[in-house]
Each structure stands twice: as C-alpha cells, then as structure tokens.
Amino acid sequence: MRKPGDWMQNPTDERILEVLNTGLELGPTTIARNIDRDRTGVSRRLSVLIDYGLVNRVEEGYYEITDLGKQYLKGELNAGELEPIGDTE
C-alpha cells in the first residue's frame, strides 16, 4: 500500500510517477497528455516531486523517476517522512 505525504496532490502525483515508471524520459506536455491534466499543473508538480527526490530532471524539459520514486510506487517508502531538498514553489 502506498503511503503518500501530506504535501502530495493525488491522484496527480501518483499518475505522474506511474507514467515516468515506464522507463522513458518524458516532458511535462507528454505526461500531461497521458494523464489528462494540463501541462502547467504537471510542470508545477514535477518541481515538487524533484524537491522531494521522487523525480529527477535529466535535462531541460525531460524527467525520469528516481529509485525513491520507484520505492514509493511499490509501497516501500512513506513519502510523509521525506523532507524537501529545495524550494517547493
């Protein structure tokens, strides 16, 4: 069972992680299209997921899931115990 943090916006954050869990490096427009959300909102959530270590920016406009993100999806990580490593805005 997944353990989301209070800082998460679900189901959006989980859907972003699930799309990135395909092993592809994707941009916010592609992610948004595949989860039926707007690109701007996905971009904001990607920034937050990066701050908490669940997503990594590969290069400008491309993102991948981290090992922590994969652990979260498997239910092996309590996201509520994560601390941000940067600004979440």
Q: Which residues contact 49 (CB under 8 A, 6 or more apart)?
A: 13, 16, 17, 55, 69
* pLDDT class of 88 with cuts at 50, 70, 90: very low
Query: Is residue 84 assigned to a domain?
Result: no
Q: What pLDDT sits at residue 86?
A: 63
Domain span including residue 65? 12-75
Question: Hey, how many other C-beta atoms are within 10 angstroms of the C-beta on 72?
Answer: 28
Determine the Cα–Cα distance for residues 54 and 65; give it in Å rounded to an integer: 6
**Average pLDDT, integer, range 78-84:** 96
pLDDT tens track for 17-67? 999 999 999 999 999 999 999 999 999 999 999 999 999 999 999 999 999
Determine the Cα–Cα distance for residues 59 and 29; give it in Å rounded to an integer: 15
* Model-wide pTM > 0.85: yes
* pLDDT class of 87 with cuts at 50, 70, 90: low
State the CATH number of the domain containing residue 30.
Answer: 1.10.10.10
